[in-house]
Amino acid sequence: RLRGAVRIPTETFDGAPTDGSDAWYDKFYALEDYLQNTFPDVFAALKLEHFATHGLLLTWTGSDTSLQPIILMAHQDTVPVPDETIRRWTHPPFEAHLDAEGWVWGRGVGDCKNLLIAELSAVSELLRTGFTPTRTVHIAFGFDEEGGGVHSARAIAAHLEDVYGLDSVLLIVDEGGGVQPDYLGQTWVLPSLAEKGSVNIKVSVNVPGGHSSIPPVHTAIGILSALVSTIEAHPPRLALSARNPFAAFTMCLAEYGTIDDELRGLLAHERTWPAAAEVMASRDPGDAARLSTTQAVDIVGGGVKVNALPEEAHAIVNHRVSADDSIRDIYTRYISLLSPVAAQYNLSVVGFDKFPPVGATRYLQLSSPSGAEASPVTPATGAAWEYVHPLIARRRHFFPDAIVAPYLSTGGTDTRSYVNLTRAIYRFQAVREDQRALIHTVDERIHVDGHLSTIAWVHALIQNADAFRAE
C-alpha cells in the first residue's frame, strides 16, 4: 500500500498555481484513484468531501455527535526531486524499492505518505474487525503543504470551523516528532507541542545595466554576494525561554538524561539559561535550530546573458521563526544589518512594504510576500494531554525505559490552519528516528517496521479517543 502511493509522483513546487482546479494539479487524481482502489472499504464507509478540488476530507461519523471529534491529518504532496540529483539516488525516487533489510526507498515515503497510508490502513483494520466509533473521526489530507498557493488545508479547516465552531475539537494529530533512541542515555518519545513560524525574505539588488566589456568593480551579483555574506555572518540570537516548548524538553533532559554537570547546572536556573543555550547549540545543530530563528539562503538569481551586466540580482532567505522572535523583529534586523552594506555600494534601501522611488536606479529592495508566526503551544496539561500522554507512553511496550517529553517542530505543518479548532494539536509519528532517514533529500527512506508501528499507533489512538470522556 505504501509503496504504491510512493510510485505516484505528487511533487509540489514554489510558485505553483493558486487554483486547485488548475490542470497543473491533475497529478493528484491518480493518487486519489489509487487510494480509493486500495481502500475501498474505507471510502465506502466514510463520507468523502473535496476542497480546492484535491483536498480530501473523510468523515467517520460517531454514534454520539455530542462528543468532540478528533482530526487525523497528513498531506498528499511531496517536495520535488531535482533532475540533477536523480543519479545520486541508490534506487530511483519513484520506484518505491523494498530492499532485503526492510527499507522502502522513495520521495515522500517518510514525508508524508507513511502517515497518510497508516491512517487509512488503521481505519481499514478497524472496519474489518467491526469497530464503529462513538466519537466522530475526521481524516484530512491537503495537497500543497510543501509549497504552492492553494492553501488546501485552510479550506478544509474553514469548513470544519463552520460545522463545529471554534475550540470544538478534542485533539488533532499530524506529522511531527518521533521516537529518538539512545540520545544522551535515554530513549525519548517526543510529541511536538508547537512549531516554528516561517517567513521568506527576498533581498534584491537593482543597479544600471550595460555591456559586460566595460564592467563596474562590483556587479549586482557581486553586491548581492556581499549582502548574503553579511546575513550568514550574523545569525539570529539564541534563546531558551518558557515560551518555547523545547524548554520543557530540556528540563526532562536535566532530570533523566546523561549530561555533564556543567550543562545540568546551567539548566537548573532560568538566569543561566542563556549560557545553557550556547552550550547546547554548540553541541547539536538540531538543538541550535530549536533555540533560535534560523536562516537559510535557498534561492539565488540574477543575470540573463553572459555579455550583459545584470540589472537585478536577488536571494531568497527562508527563516523558521522562534517563539522568542516575530516576523516584525526579523524585518527590523534586516534593515539594521544590511543598511551599512547598501551604503558602502551606494544603494538606497527600500524597506518592507515600500516601493522604490520613481526613476531610482540603484537600490536594495527588501520584501516578503507573507509569513506565519510561531504557532500557539499545546498545553502539557488538561484533558487532551491526560488522554494523549499515556497513549504516547504506550510506546513503552516497545521501549520499556522511554521518557515522554514535550518537543518543538522546526518545520511547519498544515496544523497552522487548524489552530482555531483546538489548542490540543500533537505533531507525532510513532516511528523511531533510526527507522526513517533523509527526509527532503536524496535517498529518502523508511523501514517497514516504522510504517507498521505508525499504523499500530493510529489504530490505538482512534480506539482510545473513542473511549475517552473528560471528567
Distance, in Å, from the CA atom of 106 to the CA atom of 108, rounded to the nearest integer, reads 6
- pLDDT score, position 395: 52
Is the pLDDT reported for residue 399 higher than 70?
no
Model confidence pLDDT, tens digit, residues 207-258: 999 999 999 999 999 999 999 999 999 999 999 999 999 999 999 999 999 9
- pLDDT score, position 69: 97
Cell numbers for 305: 546573458
Cβ atoms within 10 A of the Cβ of 271, count? Answer: 8
DSSP labels, 228-291 = HHHHHHSPPPB---TTSTHHHHHHHHHHHS---HHHHHHHTSGGGHHHHHHHHHHH-HHHHHHT
Cell numbers for 278: 550556547
- pLDDT score, position 394: 58
Distance, in Å, from the CA atom of 119 to the CA atom of 147, rounded to the nearest integer, reads 23
Distances (CA, A) of 392 to 172, 316, 440, 453: 14, 39, 26, 12
DSSP structural state of residue 68: P
Least trusted range by pLDDT, from 93-102, 141-150, 331-340 = 141-150
Q: Could you identify the residue written with the cell 512549531?
A: 195
- pLDDT score, position 122: 98
Of 39 and 370, the structure prediction assigns the larger pLDDT to 39
Q: What is the mean pLDDT of residues 191-217?
A: 97
Is the pLDDT reported for residue 381 higher than 90?
no
- pLDDT score, position 212: 96
So which residues are the catalytic ones? 77, 145
Cell numbers for 114: 507513511
CB 428 within 8 A of CB 192: yes
Of 247 and 150, the structure prediction assigns the larger pLDDT to 247
CA Rg, the chain, in Å? Answer: 24
Reported as a pLDDT band with limits 50, 70 and 90, residue 47 is: very high
Model confidence pLDDT, tens digit, residues 275-303: 999 999 999 999 999 999 999 999 999 99
Distance, in Å, from the CA atom of 147 to the CA atom of 138, rounded to the nearest integer, reads 23
Residues contacting residue 133 through CB under 8 Å, at least 6 positions apart: 60, 61, 62, 63, 462, 466
- pLDDT score, position 391: 67
Q: Which domains does the chain carry?
A: 2-195+376-467 (3.40.630.10), 197-372 (3.30.70.360)
- pLDDT score, position 384: 72
Is the pLDDT reported for residue 397 higher than 60?
no
Model confidence pLDDT, tens digit, residues 453-471: 999 999 999 999 999 887 5
Q: Percent of the chain, pLDDT > 90?
A: 89
Residues contacting residue 88 through CB under 8 Å, at least 6 positions apart: 442, 443
Cβ atoms within 10 A of the Cβ of 52, count? Answer: 20
Model confidence pLDDT, tens digit, residues 349-362: 999 989 999 999 99
- pLDDT score, position 385: 76
- pLDDT score, position 428: 94
Residues contacting residue 355 through CB under 8 Å, at least 6 positions apart: none
Distance, in Å, from the CA atom of 17 to the CA atom of 53, rounded to the nearest integer, reads 13
Q: Where are the alpha helices (DSSP H) in 284-400?
A: 285-290, 327-344, 383-393
CB 94 within 8 A of CB 431: no
Residues contacting residue 83 through CB under 8 Å, at least 6 positions apart: none
CA dihedral of residues 410, 110, 120, 13 (deg, nearest 10): 70
- pLDDT score, position 183: 85
Model confidence pLDDT, tens digit, residues 48-106: 999 999 999 999 999 999 999 999 999 999 999 999 999 999 999 999 999 999 999 99
DSSP structural state of residue 14: T
Reported as a pLDDT band with limits 50, 70 and 90, residue 386 is: confident
- pLDDT score, position 284: 93
Q: Percent of the chain, pLDDT > 70?
A: 97
CB 81 within 8 A of CB 441: no
Reported as a pLDDT band with limits 50, 70 and 90, residue 124 is: very high
182: left (phi over 0), alpha (psi -120 to 50) or beta: left
Is the pLDDT reported for residue 396 higher than 60?
no
Distance, in Å, from the CA atom of 460 to the CA atom of 440, rounded to the nearest integer, reads 29
The dihedrals phi and psi of 202, each to the nearest 5 degrees, come to: -100, 125
Q: What is the mean pLDDT of residues 315-327?
A: 97
Average pLDDT over the chain reads 95
Q: Which amino acid is at 295?
A: Q
